[in-house]
Chains A and B, each alone.
Chain A
């Protein structure tokens, strides 16, 4: 068996749902003095266990608000667990949103460098991948246009091209293929398959059962912040699709 690359151990994420915004200063101070809770505790994830080995391709499925994105953020290191531990053993390319960190005022060319650096690439690495990124995103003629004039599909293409060009150990993708046209989606799927073949581990959030079945070999099914099921793709997706119908 290949080495373990991500280990999530009994992890929970707690948010405080702030309720004090619509309260006045006076009631805020009095409730502080009375030691009343100023917020409602909310567990976005509760006691999650997950062990991902290198080269595996995991899908995380579940309804809206079930904690899928929170789990990705936890693994990426954006959020810290309230309880439990998360250990990651490799470089991560987080694609939590297409073109997160793009600056509308900058041109495509400038944003490639900026976004690459934000993802944790080295400058030389971005420069080396530059032509490949441009070719993949098919934006040759728009490179010197400020990105605020790009369509959302163009932004998605560029974002995907940058994140996948860094050939990370772990690619974390949050419903990234929902934007973009059919042709580009095909291209993206192909790119992800190539990365998987090259040893990259994939964590993928999707609502599309067909894509999950095609791309992934393991599934974690979340419901209301707790694990409902995890295991091989055929077994879990059978249950999952049965519930949906």
Chain B
């Protein structure tokens, strides 16, 4: 069971290199925010402002058909943009650290994990913006919110698998990063972030609801915060399947490609 070994190896390395990982993440964040006047305020401010703009742009179009539109929009946006943002930055994580890989012995997936971790911290900050929107729209919060961390954890794991796969593939074939960039644009329009899935034609709707993993994560979040229901439904099953699939693909790709990666960075 190479896969199990690989998982064990990844975890052991993760523990050993945890301080380095933390350091890499804080470096990424520092570089992103330090030079600006408002600094870490931007972590919250930037999603909040984007949400305001999107709300302003789309509210006239969809307001009547979607109740509590700001929360609908924001919950979709933070989940979806974590998925694409983290995986895009992971896809560059191995190629981008070529100089370090050629001179030191840090396990390569630490760089990928650092990209994921940085995106995760940004995500947690954007949750503050989400809370602000919840308060501002006077949206009641029910007990179901305790299931939200589970949804988030599942999403992190999904992105870890997908991101590892992309990081390895992008090292061998540099076109992968370009293709994925285009793909995420299509993915965004195929995910009901600012519209509802009901407004789509029947065929598109059934495809999206059955096969789009981002839809599952977005919709589970909405069922928690808007419908006040537990997210333990067929969407949870679907996201579990996608997460498992990409974890296996990502880790197998890394395990099989690891020795060759250094020759391609």
Contact = CB atoms under 8 A, between A and B. Distances in A.
A97 B103 contact: yes
A62 B102 CA distance: 21
B256 interface: no
B97 to A, nearest CB: 9
A106 B99 CA distance: 17
Contacts of A118: 20, 100, 104, 106
Interface stretch (B23-31, B58-66, B67-75, B137-145): B23-31
Given A94-B105, A96-B102, 4 more contacts: A101-B100, A103-B27, A114-B20, A118-B106
B238 interface: no
B99 A78 contact: no
A148 to B, nearest CB: 11
10 pairs of A and B residues whose beta carbons are closest in the complex: A100-B103, A117-B20, A123-B19, A96-B103, A105-B31, A97-B103, A118-B104, A77-B105, A101-B100, A80-B259
Contacts of B128: none
Contact of B262 (A78, A92, A106, A122): A78
Contact of A101 (B19, B30, B34, B104): B104
B153 interface: no
B163 to A, nearest CB: 21
12 contacts: A73-B102, A76-B105, A78-B102, A78-B262, A96-B102, A100-B104, A101-B100, A106-B27, A106-B30, A117-B17, A117-B20, A118-B20
Contacts of B259: 80
Interface in A1-44: 15-16
Nearest to A73: B102
B99 A100 contact: yes
Interface string A106-123: 100010011001111011
Given A16-B263, A101-B100, A117-B20, A110 B27 contact: yes
Contact of B19 (A73, A97, A122): A122
The size bracket of the interface on B is: 20 to 34
A135 interface: no
B236 interface: no
A150 B104 CA distance: 21
Interface of A: 15-16, 73, 76-80, 92, 94, 96-97, 100-101, 103, 105-106, 110, 113-114, 117-120, 122-123
A105 B35 CA distance: 10
B22 to A, nearest CB: 9
A202 B86 CA distance: 42
Contacts of B263: 15-16
A101 B24 CA distance: 11
B104 A94 contact: yes
B19 A117 contact: yes
Contacts of B30: 105-106, 110
Interface in B27-53: 27, 30-31, 34
A87 to B, nearest CB: 15
B101 interface: yes
Contacts of B105: 76-78, 92, 94, 120
A79 B23 contact: no
A110 B28 CA distance: 12
Contacts of B101: 78
Nearest to A96: B103
Interface string B134-165: 00000000000000000000000000000000
A120 B20 CA distance: 9
A103 B96 CA distance: 13
Contacts of B106: 118
Nearest to A111: B27
Contacts of A73: 102
A10 B17 CA distance: 32
A76 B103 CA distance: 9
Interface in B102-124: 102-106
Nearest to A99: B103
B23 A113 contact: yes
Nearest to A79: B262
Q: Give the residue among A76, A77, A106 with the most B Cβ atoms within 10 A.
A: A106
Interface in B88-102: 99-102
A144 to B, nearest CB: 13
A40 to B, nearest CB: 14
Contacts of B27: 103, 105-106, 110, 114
A119 B104 contact: yes
Contacts of A110: 27, 30
A77 B259 CA distance: 11
A69 B232 CA distance: 56
